[in-house]
Structure 1
Amino acid sequence: MNIAVFSVTENGRQLSVRIAEALGAEHRVSRYCFHKHTDDNAAVFWNMGSMVGRLFERSDAFIFVCACGIAVRAAAPYLGTKPDDPAIIVMDDGGRFVIPVLSGHIGGANHIAELLADSLGVTAVITSSEDDAGSFSLESFAAANDLIICDSKAAKEISAAVLHDEKIGFFSNYKHSGLPEELTEFGICRTGICIDTNTDLKPFDVTVNLVPKNIVLGISCKNDTSAEALENAVTSALDGIGIKRISCIAAVDEVPELCSFCEKLGIPMKKYESAELDGVEAKCEQMVLKSGGKLIIKEKEFDGISIAAAEAPVFLDFERKS
């Protein structure tokens, strides 16, 4: 995840250093300090709202070490829809509490808050009703298993049904761990979850379709490849497969526009050394097959851009945390 940490005071600056150390091993953490209280390892801002706006589209999470009201006012103008908004977390500069404010489940704010609580010895204040009840959370499950929620309205009905102790149906052909007690694969249920690439499947009156984000793309292109040509090539190669299903892009060379493309979509890049693919004709195919998946798009060329794709295996784990 790309995580931006904002601080305002000297105490906040010191806490931001500890936050970066706690999360830096697994995430890309950048620190932003108010100009009066900064250091050589942080970027400087004079106006928090303006800086948040510049970073909003390319950040997966914001951690604000300041008053909750300041954080809300800084992020509010840029908020869109629930599935697309980044995680918003607030920590007081006294280092007592960490509060996930937005995108607790889908964006992973609750999980980040819990990580910081464990690492820094602060108290995580989780207000999501499913978490308080210790019951199944559709959003947490989807985030932890890289699943795309296709219908937010139906997802809300599932959450409401869980809170009212209504049994939730479950349908999927993917292998999975044991189901939580709220879900069942048997009997007739009004609401239910369907995990499949076919979103036309509606086994229940109220069906939430979840689609796995498990497409691995192998791409080879020249340094002067344009962003437009790259996007057109990917769209043509996928041929109806949603671009949101891409989980990783494999490449040999770090072409600037390819790196920007991955950053824009929040997709990790797996880089292979040329020596690993010496003597291989279909390099893109070999790269995606290293994911352990099944080749679904043989290597094709689109205006000088070579692309292949594989579908990585899926195992649904109800104990996995995002």
Structure 2
Amino acid sequence: MIELQEEKVSAIEQKGNYAIVAITKHGVELARKLGSSFQNADVYYMGKFEKGDEAAKGIQMFTGSVRLLLPSLFQAYQGLIIIISLGAVVRMIAPLLKDKKTDPGVVVIDDKGEHVISVLSGHIGGANELTKEVAAALKARPIITTASDVQGTIPVDLFGKRFGWVWDSSEKLTPVSAAVVNEEKIAVVQESGEKEWWHYGPSIPENIKVYDSIDGALKAGLDAALVITHRKLSEEENLILHNGVLYRPKVIVLGIGCNRGTTTEEIEAVIEETLKELQFSKKSVKAVCTIDIKKDESGLLEVASKNNWEFIYFTPAELNSVKMEMPSETVFKYTGAYGVSEPAALLYSGAEKLELVKKKSGNVTISVAIIPY
């Protein structure tokens, strides 16, 4: 807990480049929502709204006036997302302003999450692009008042954040961003994930070309690349990342059944082994799905919570509504469903077929699906 007092402010623990700050009940819900989808963002809110899972999620709580917290955040972060009234934020940051070349981008969100306002360092500090991404994530209205906000291209470090996409490595963010801004030849290769990512202007600039395969992009020639896939790349495909950023969309759905009392360690080991066999990235996992009699299974709950995955469960009737390749009378006898992992993965993903139909390993049965877009 960060204690905020006039004479002393406890040290913050910076992990990301962005700080999300809230001081109200509704603001906390917005902050938690953004924190779960925005890679590289740290969440701060008042301790009186503690929910009990803050330590596991890396959320930092504070007591005292938020005014005393802002100077530390102002110095430490590239951008601040503040869910407090605009007037209050302006008064609190006014004494902290130095220069538009060094001040962080500041974005303000109203308590209902209806408007996202670019307040400070719109261009150089990146607040305008941050505003667009936050607004898209919340389905809110972006408010940008700078007249010259006309470039209309992809912000590489924020690309796909509203969908929960994460990048594998930050190593090439700076050179790829430079290539995009300088209108060099850019390849966007998308194998999976949400398709409606373009919202930066009327149309995609001519220097940015979209490909559905890495091979096609490499043959076309490029200066930089943005690659969106849940797959692990082969050695040859990795050539595209010499000046590229690899994004992981949240598209993998794990259908899991297990014996009562199966440990977290065993479940996680089966998941790791399965993803390695399929050559899929763990960063692209979106959800763990099972049957409702397992909704209190501690091993499953802990795995989902630890990895910040959705935990979904279905009734036997819902599971039985799905056509299965390997229905089981034994499973039906004990659960009322002819299968758990297969239909659970298919139901949640909406896929027509599974990437892995069903694998039994020790106390765990797992099926894998990819959400189609």
Give the TM-score category using the shorter length.
0.5 to 0.7
Mapped to 2, the partners of 1:268 and 1:262 lie a distance apart of: 6
Residue 263 (structure 1) aligns with = 305
Cα deviation 1:226-269 (Å, max 9, x = unaligned): 11111112122322433222111112212122111111101111
- Distance in 1 separating the partners of 2:240 and 2:45: 47
Q: How does 1:62-141 map to 2 (within 5 A)?
A: 65-66=66-67, 67-71=69-73, 89-90=81-82, 95-97=88-90, 113-114=108-109, 119=114, 124-125=119-120, 127-128=125-126, 131=129, 134-141=152-159
Residue 180 of structure 1 is matched in structure 2 by 204
Distance 1:284 1:267, change over 3 A: same
> Are the equivalent residues in 1 in contact too, given 2:190–2:227 (CA < 8 A)?
yes
- Who is 1:287 aligned against? 344
- Quote the Cα distance in structure 2 between the aligned partners of 1:305 and 1:189: 45
1:224 is matched with 261
1:233 to 242, 248, 270: 270
Change in CA separation of 1:198 and 1:306 when aligned onto 2, cut-off 3 Å: closer
Cα 1:224–1:152, aligned 2, differ >3 Å: closer, same or farther? same
Match of 1:244 in 2: 283
* 1:199 match: 233
Are the aligned partners of 2:256 and 2:289 in contact in 1 as well (CA < 8 Å)?
Answer: yes
Shifted more, 133-142 versus 64-73: the winner is 64-73
Secondary structure at the aligned position of 1:270 is classed as: strand
- 8 A contact 2:84–2:111 mirrored in 1: no
Q: In 2, are the aligned partners of 1:138 and 1:158 still within 8 Å (CA)?
A: yes
Match of 2:97 in 1: none
Percent identity between the two aligned chains: 18
Cα deviation for residue 295 of structure 1 reads 0.1
Deviations 1:190-216 (A, max 9, x none): 112233425232347523233433110
Q: In the TM superposition, what whole-angstrom CA distance separates every residue of 1:164-200 from its partner, at most 9, and x where no partner exists?
A: 3333222335584566215124864211223342523
TM-score w.r.t. structure 1 length? 0.65
* CA deviation string 1:43-84 (max 9, x = no partner): 49xxxxxx9xx94551479899333234579xx7xx9xx9xx
Gaps of 5+ in 1: 45-50, 100-109, 315-322
Instruction: Report the Cα offset of residue 311 of structure 1.
Output: 1.2
Tell me how far apart the structure 2 counterparts of residues 233 and 242 of structure 1 sit (CA, whole Å): 14
Is 1:210 matched with 2:247? yes
Larger Rg computed on CA atoms? 2
Does the Cα contact within 8 Å between 1:215 and 1:309 map onto a contact in 2?
A: yes
Once the two structures are superposed, residues 105-145 of structure 1 have per-residue CA deviations (whole angstroms, 9 ceiling, x without a partner) of xxxxx998546595489764453177265531123223234
Partner of 1:249, secondary structure, is strand
Q: Deviations over 1:6-43 (max 9, x none)?
A: 8969xxxx94234146668999999633xxxx5xxx34
Say whether the 8 Å CA contact 1:68–1:90 is kept in structure 2: no
Which letter maps to 1:308?
S
Tell me how far apart the structure 2 counterparts of residues 227 and 184 of structure 1 sit (CA, whole Å).
Answer: 43
1:218 CA drift (Å) = 0.8
Kindly state the Cα deviation for residue 161 of structure 1 after the two structures are TM-superposed: 1.6
Contact 1:142 1:149 in 2 (8 A): no
Cross-structure match for 2:189: 171
Q: Retained in 2: the 8 A contact 1:114–1:124?
A: no
Question: In terms of mean alpha carbon deviation, does 205-214 or 292-301 score higher?
Answer: 205-214
C-alpha distance after superposition, 1:83-110 (max 9, x if no partner): xxxx9645679733599xxxxxxxxxx9
1:272-317 alpha-carbon deviations (Å, 9 max, x no partner): 1233235542321011111212301122222211111111113xxx
Partner SS state of residue 246, structure 2: strand
What is aligned with 1:156?
Answer: 174
Conservation of the 8 A alpha-carbon contact between 2:189 and 2:226: yes
TM-score, normalising length: structure 2: 0.58
Residues 227, 257 of structure 1: 8 Å contact kept? yes
Kindly indicate whether the alpha-carbon contact (under 8 Å) linking 1:262 and 1:269 is maintained by their aligned counterparts in 2.
yes
Worse-matched range after superposition: 200-209 or 157-166: 200-209
CA gap of 1:216–1:134, structure 2 versus 1, over 3 A, is same
